[in-house]
Amino acid sequence: MKRPVFYGWLLVALTLFLQSVGVGTTLYMYSVIAAAIGSDMPSARSVLMLGSTAMLVVGALLSPVLGRLLDHYPMKWIIVPGGVSLGVGFILLGFSTEIWHVVVCYMLFMGVGLTALGSVPASTLLARWFVRYRGLAIGISALGTQFGGFAYTPLLAGLIEAQDWRVAVTVMGTIIVVVVPLVAYIWVVDKPSDRNLAPDGDPIEEAAKAPRTPAGSNPEQAAHPDAGVPFYKLISQRNFIILFIFAGTLGGVVHNAVIANLSLLATDLGETVRRGAFLVSLLAFVGLFTSPLTGWLGDRINVKIVASALTLLMAAAALLYSIADSYVVLLVATLLQGMAGGGFFPLWALLVARLYHLSVYGQVMGTTAVAAFGGAAIGPVFAGWLHDVTGSYRIVFLIFLGALLAVTFLISRLQTPAR
């Protein structure tokens, strides 16, 4: 008889969908919504960006709390309220009449939704369901962030053109508030044992007998050096500090600064806005392939090697951006940046799983997410400010290059537990 499809793969599809909604409707759609709001409530560009910044700051503040909750409470009771919050936020956004109403909606409602439907809950859930295929599962799930930008943004833009931005966000919010909590309540299951299953879909009898690798299996986790260590002691150790810097530099400051300023890099060289927008699309498209590939590699070779290679790819992109004098150079740099940026999340999640006991996985992910969210809020502003001061992005990317080389060295200092 054929074995049924392992329930964990259904959860991969579910977390892909949840991330597509949580990230796609907030980060990727923000510029489209902001443009429509700006035509209705004329405001300075910096003022229009306050909603995104406020949302990311709230994400940074909530992530450590969320991580601790994920380690101690059923996950569906975190995801369901997050979906409700996100949907209600968009519905209320449709009734806003002042720009500060927009900022409050993004800060109080979308910030909660982005955090509760984002990478921290998704990776925490899949780390429990997979061991051998953990990197691949998390890498496929991470495609949701790019998929949301590709699939939902054109639909929203079409609805705005056909109706009005208020109608569009209200319709979107209503769909979210109904669909997301419903699917999360029905299908989210915290761990394989809740369904009398073992990780990776192994027969539960075999799983009870045989030791399994990598980190995350029962025998290895029992012998993990961090097992039973209080969390407040873990965050003062070298591994955590390096992870915090890694998440803040690659996933926070550098990648988001590139996303926000990439189109402007092209127009500075005399290219059209359309050709600049193509670079942004290319960045996201390349990430669709490198996300599962990075996870697959992390399952099979030393994860420190994969992390170093990814960081050096991003450093090479920063070098090319700093010397770019033609559109072709920008294309090559964007290909490298897309490869590194697309692989960041599954690699980050794998590093946490490799370095820490599963009992504190959510807390470590949530606390290091402070750096990722904080860097995402700071990076674009820093790059834009330095461009205004110096007149070009050259110094910006040289600073990024130095920071990425420093992170590559720090990765070599990670202390990974013996398999």
**Model pLDDT, residue 410:** 95
Contacts of 76 (CB under 8 A, 6+ apart): 184, 185, 188, 190
Which tokens go with 328? 């072709």
Q: Are residues 199 and 222 in the same domain?
A: no
Contacts of 360 (CB under 8 A, 6+ apart): 71, 226, 231, 234
Asked if pLDDT for residue 213 goes beyond 90, the answer is no
Q: Are residues 201 and 62 in the same domain?
A: yes
Is 141 a member of any domain?
yes
Position 273 confidence tier, pLDDT thresholds 50, 70, 90? low
The position carrying tokens 């994920």 is 70
Instruction: Give how far Cα 203 sits from Cα of 10, 157, 219, 399, 403, Å.
Output: 17, 47, 17, 51, 46
Q: What is the mean pLDDT of residues 94-101?
A: 89
d(CA 26, CA 110): 7
Asked if pLDDT for residue 183 goes beyond 80, the answer is yes
Higher per-residue pLDDT: 205 or 345: 345
Given 177, 206, 235, the domain boundary residue is 206
Q: Are residues 276 and 339 in the same domain?
A: yes
Q: Are residues 125 and 177 in the same domain?
A: yes
Name 217's bridge partners: 215
Position 215 confidence tier, pLDDT thresholds 50, 70, 90? very low
Q: Are residues 202 and 223 in the same domain?
A: no
Is 145 a member of any domain?
yes
Distance of CA 377 to the CA centre of its chain: 13
Q: What are phi and psi of 241, to 5 degrees?
A: -60, -40
Is 212 a member of any domain?
no
CATH number at residue 54: 1.20.1250.20
Is 1 a member of any domain?
no
Is 2 a member of any domain?
no
Position 353 confidence tier, pLDDT thresholds 50, 70, 90? confident
d(CA 240, CA 352): 9
**Model pLDDT, residue 46:** 63
**Model pLDDT, residue 279:** 81
Higher per-residue pLDDT: 212 or 384: 384
Q: What's the chain's average pLDDT?
A: 85
Lowest mean pLDDT among 16-25, 317-326, 357-366: 357-366
Q: Are residues 240 and 334 in the same domain?
A: yes
Q: Are residues 123 and 225 in the same domain?
A: no
Instruction: Give how far Cα 292 sits from Cα of 133, 243, 303, 347, Å.
Output: 11, 21, 14, 10
Lowest mean pLDDT among 94-103, 157-166, 213-222, 230-239: 213-222
**Model pLDDT, residue 219:** 42
Q: What is the mean pLDDT of residues 305-330?
A: 93
159-168: pLDDT as tens digits: 888 888 899 9
Q: What are phi and psi of 148, to 5 degrees?
A: -60, -40
- In the chain, how long is the greatest CA-to-CA distance? 68
Q: Are residues 118 and 168 in the same domain?
A: yes
Asked if pLDDT for residue 53 goes beyond 50, the answer is yes
Instruction: Give how far Cα 391 sits from Cα of 179, 273, 324, Å.
Output: 47, 19, 15
- Which domain does 104 fall in, by range? 7-206
Q: Are residues 307 and 345 in the same domain?
A: yes
Instruction: Give the range with max mean pLDDT: 36-45, 82-91, 232-241.
Output: 82-91
136-154: pLDDT as tens digits: 999 899 888 878 777 787 7
Q: Are residues 397 and 348 in the same domain?
A: yes
Q: What is the mean pLDDT of residues 164-184?
A: 93
Lowest mean pLDDT among 17-31, 214-228, 300-314: 214-228
12-46: pLDDT as tens digits: 999 999 999 998 888 877 767 877 887 778 776 56
Given 206, 229, 255, the domain boundary residue is 206
Asked if pLDDT for residue 305 goes beyond 90, the answer is yes
Lowest mean pLDDT among 121-125, 256-260, 369-373, 411-415: 256-260
Given 206, 234, 254, the domain boundary residue is 206
Q: Are residues 122 and 229 in the same domain?
A: no
The number of distinct structural domains making up the chain is 2
